[in-house]
Amino acid sequence: MTVNTQRITQFQRDQLTFDVLDTGPLDGQPFVLLHGFPETNKSWQQTADILNAQGFRTYAVNQRGYSLGARPRNRRDYRSSALVEDVHTLLKLIGQPVYLVGHDWGAVIAWDIAQRYPEKIKHLISVSVPHKAAFMRSMLSSTQLFKSYYMGLFQLPKIPELFFTRLSKIGLGLLKNSGMTEQQLKDFQQEIVEEKRLSTALNWYRGIPFSSNKYLTQPVKVPTLFIWGKHDSAIGEKSVQLNRQYVDAPYTEVIMDATHWIPVQNAQQLSEHILQAIAA
């Protein structure tokens, strides 16, 4: 195994170029930080700063659809296996097991990577979104299906784009109701809408029908920290309660007085929970 001692600001897979914010000591133990929708790798800046100050190296990647050089138009190109292999390519470049942190859609991919490549993961940290099987089961026994209405809406052609452009009061209102701050809304307008990432970011939802459920119920077998905000408008408590059933390894659960947007709004607390869990 060759450990990388050079900065990784970009990497390539299948003629796509991914952007990475690689910060912290070059010899620091590595964290890989995966953002969700509708944010970029900049959402991890505060968390990365804290981890860097503690001697860790962080790689915050702009994932497929968000890196300006990695925006295929075909929705099938956003199936889960492709998204997983994008990150796996980065893990191979890093050259040693990592602490893997994912939020929102980034958490979905983090769970998948932990299932398929457990030897690459020292500790899984999932923020806001539980194991996919827990999430799916919760739809049958709680209000989760109602909370997840937007997942169906975002799979429609063109209409979601209209909500965030021509009918922006509606789209921005949905984000504000989810707990986003005014600054987050401004960041979304700049980074996602004005920088032309909206349609390809939405393709993560449009790629769902092309994604395999082969590993759906497979438990994760790496140490796991799961963090959820009790004011989360997208993820209900039932899936949180079911989550531990899908981790066959040391498992820690933290429920915060927070919204869905923990990495941006609660970076200090999040970092403290992470550092405590990996030190245990």
- pLDDT tens column, 48-72: 999 999 999 999 999 999 999 999 9
Q: Cis peptide before 38, with omega less than 30 degrees from 0?
A: yes
Instruction: Using the predicted structure, report yes or no on whether residue 215 has a pLDDT greater than 80.
Output: yes
Which alpha helices (DSSP H) does 2-148 contain, by range?
A: 45-53, 80-94, 105-116, 132-138, 144-147
Q: What percentage of residues in the chain have a pLDDT greater than 90?
A: 95
In a domain, 2, yes or no: no
Q: What is the pTM of this model?
A: 0.97
In a domain, 207, yes or no: yes
pLDDT of residue 1: 60
Give the range of the structural domain holding residue 60, as residue numbers without chain letter: 10-279
In a domain, 3, yes or no: no
C-alpha dist (Å) from residue 24 to 6, 12, 221: 12, 22, 28
In a domain, 5, yes or no: no
In a domain, 189, yes or no: yes
Helix (H, G, I), strand (E, B) or coil at 22: strand
Please state the domain count of the chain.
Answer: 1
> What CATH number has the domain bearing residue 274?
3.40.50.1820
Give CA–CA dist 5/253, Å, rounded: 33
Instruction: Using the predicted structure, report yes or no on whether residue 256 has a pLDDT greater than 80.
Output: yes
In a domain, 190, yes or no: yes
Residue 92's contacts (CB-CB under 8 Å, 6 or more residues apart) are none
